[in-house]
A = this chain, B = another copy of it.
């Protein structure tokens, strides 16, 4: 009999799992169950649609018909998986029962909205689904100003999009810097100033106390001050959706997400579960530089995890190594990215970090069109292993972040980097010594001064 694979969730993790399962097992009966109405779209692209750079139809890649026809995968949309029974190996969704041999749970996360008064008023939004995006787009047409709660990457991307569309934009952040947690204050300050120059206002160290208005939102109160606006966006982080994992009794990890093995399988009281796989925003996995748990709530991570979960659900045997969770954004013409541990994440893992930094250009200094490039690399003061990096420039950030990610994943020391790392060079594409290497040299010098 054909293997029955049920996948719950149609985000990047769920659909990648479905396609990977099909690649592994030509005969499996594969069913994807999802609450969403749209599938196979890019939620990361929503800010660029709001800005008019892309259109909704562009960022929706496929519909259920495509999956049926091209991959013989059944996708059931608009249907919530209400319950799962690990003993009967059965999912109930929309009143129907689905028996599985292998189950993939990829139900992602939900934006955490702080429980403040007024949070349910009209024109208060989160940025998660196409439906969210379309509602924001509609509200923007009649609005002059917006408050974004949360200065993380998504908050900043939406802030830039709305500012580019002519709105007055205020970003309110509880912590003392933008891109908290994953960016260091010195790098965060650079991007904040850049966005301030583009007319975005920032209020830091300001927890949101209430959303004001009668029917429709009229303002936000934070740290005792009122900020009037027509739209409020909560971009305040994503919490794992744990309803189904809890029904199965899966072990929840230190970070409030499902703990999984490198094969993407969960545990029940420490015992590996053979027929359940998870991928996406609801799991925690192993941090490469941190030697402890971490969450990679990124589209690119969801795809990698989904591929492993789907392949293994179809009888394969793949594993995912520990992660660095590289991230990047493009904000008002500047690219900012990072990988591994920031200063504050290193502190969370109890690692003493030492930082090196260099400034240069993305091209030979004399070659026209080069952009200023700032690279920061940090290492564990005791082992000299590279543990993190942040890169800021008008271009060329993505490749450098991926490059350093590989060094971190391999446990490379700064000294080893300087002995081994080489960069390709021609005047229009890099400096003769890439700024990554200059930052590493600075880091080596700093390490010799650590006692």
Residues of A within 8 A of B (CB): 12, 42, 44-45, 48, 53-54, 58-59, 61, 157, 262, 288, 298-301, 303-304, 318-330, 335, 337, 339, 364-368, 395-403, 405-407, 409-410, 412, 416, 418-430, 432-434, 436
Looking across the interface, which residue of chain B has its beta carbon closest to that of A423? Answer: B402
Looking across the interface, which residue of chain B has its beta carbon closest to that of A416? Answer: B321
Report whether A12 and B396 are in contact in the complex, using a CB–CB cutoff of 8 Å: no
Query: Shortest distance in angstroms between A154's beta carbon and chain B's nearest beta carbon?
Result: 10
Query: Shortest distance in angstroms between A392's beta carbon and chain B's nearest beta carbon?
Result: 13
Query: Shortest distance in angstroms between A134's beta carbon and chain B's nearest beta carbon?
Result: 16
Report whether A430 and B364 are in contact in the complex, using a CB–CB cutoff of 8 Å: no
In the complex, besides A45-B427, A330-B429, A339-B422, 15 extra interface pairs with C-beta distance below 8 angstroms are: A42-B366, A48-B367, A53-B367, A300-B434, A319-B419, A320-B419, A328-B425, A330-B426, A337-B424, A395-B395, A398-B399, A402-B436, A403-B403, A406-B406, A410-B420
Interface hub of A339, A406, A409 (most chain B Cβ within 10 A): A406
Q: Compute how far the CA of A394 lies from the CA of B318 in the bound complex, rounded to whole angstroms.
A: 34
Q: Compute how far the CA of A298 lies from the CA of B418 in the bound complex, rounded to whole angstroms.
A: 17
Q: Which of B48, B320, B328, B396 contacts A424 (CB 8 A)?
A: B328
Report whether A405 and B427 are in contact in the complex, using a CB–CB cutoff of 8 Å: no
Q: Compute how far the CA of A316 lies from the CA of B433 in the bound complex, rounded to whole angstroms.
A: 21
Q: Compute how far the CA of A298 lies from the CA of B299 in the bound complex, rounded to whole angstroms.
A: 37
Report whether A328 and B399 are in contact in the complex, using a CB–CB cutoff of 8 Å: no
Q: Compute how far the CA of A396 lies from the CA of B328 in the bound complex, rounded to whole angstroms.
A: 14
B contact residues around A322 at 8 Å (CB)? 420
Given that A424-B300, A427-B44 are known contacts, is A54 also in contact with B368, CB under 8 Å in the complex? yes
Given that A364-B42, A366-B59 are known contacts, is A422 also in contact with B409, CB under 8 Å in the complex? yes
Report whether B425 and A318 are in contact in the complex, using a CB–CB cutoff of 8 Å: no
Report whether A422 and B400 are in contact in the complex, using a CB–CB cutoff of 8 Å: no
Closest 6 pairs (CB-CB, A-B): A399-B399, A58-B366, A326-B424, A328-B424, A321-B420, A300-B425
Q: Compute how far the CA of A324 lies from the CA of B398 in the bound complex, rounded to whole angstroms.
A: 21
Given that A59-B366, A300-B424, A368-B54 are known contacts, is A432 also in contact with B12, CB under 8 Å in the complex? yes
Q: Compute how far the CA of A409 lies from the CA of B419 in the bound complex, rounded to whole angstroms.
A: 10
Q: Which of B44, B321, B330, B426 contacts A328 (CB 8 A)?
A: B426
Q: Compute how far the CA of A329 lies from the CA of B428 in the bound complex, rounded to whole angstroms.
A: 8
Q: Compute how far the CA of A399 lies from the CA of B363 in the bound complex, rounded to whole angstroms.
A: 12
Q: Compute how far the CA of A243 lies from the CA of B97 in the bound complex, rounded to whole angstroms.
A: 83
Report whether A430 and B398 are in contact in the complex, using a CB–CB cutoff of 8 Å: yes
Q: Compute how far the CA of A403 lies from the CA of B397 in the bound complex, rounded to whole angstroms.
A: 12
Report whether B419 and A406 are in contact in the complex, using a CB–CB cutoff of 8 Å: no
Query: Shortest distance in angstroms between A91's beta carbon and chain B's nearest beta carbon?
Result: 27
Report whether A45 and B403 are in contact in the complex, using a CB–CB cutoff of 8 Å: no
Report whether A426 and B367 are in contact in the complex, using a CB–CB cutoff of 8 Å: no
Q: Which of B365, B368, B423 contacts A326 (CB 8 A)?
A: B423
Report whether B424 and A420 are in contact in the complex, using a CB–CB cutoff of 8 Å: no
Q: Compute how far the CA of A423 lies from the CA of B404 in the bound complex, rounded to whole angstroms.
A: 10
Query: Shortest distance in angstroms between A198's beta carbon and chain B's nearest beta carbon?
Result: 16
Q: Compute how far the CA of A418 lies from the CA of B20 in the bound complex, rounded to whole angstroms.
A: 14
Q: Which of B54, B366, B424 contacts A45 (CB 8 A)?
A: B366
Report whether A402 and B405 are in contact in the complex, using a CB–CB cutoff of 8 Å: no
Q: Compute how far the CA of A53 lies from the CA of B427 in the bound complex, rounded to whole angstroms.
A: 11
Q: Compute how far the CA of A298 lies from the CA of B422 in the bound complex, rounded to whole angstroms.
A: 11
B contact residues around A298 at 8 Å (CB)? 425
Complex A-B: 22 CB contacts under 8 Å: A42-B432, A44-B364, A61-B365, A299-B432, A304-B433, A319-B419, A320-B419, A321-B416, A322-B420, A325-B422, A328-B425, A328-B426, A330-B428, A339-B424, A396-B396, A402-B403, A405-B424, A406-B410, A409-B421, A409-B422, A410-B412, A410-B420
Looking across the interface, which residue of chain B has its beta carbon closest to that of A425? Answer: B300
Report whether B367 and A54 are in contact in the complex, using a CB–CB cutoff of 8 Å: yes
B contact residues around A262 at 8 Å (CB)? 419
Query: Shortest distance in angstroms between A332's beta carbon and chain B's nearest beta carbon?
Result: 11
Q: Compute how far the CA of A102 lies from the CA of B339 in the bound complex, rounded to whole angstroms.
A: 42
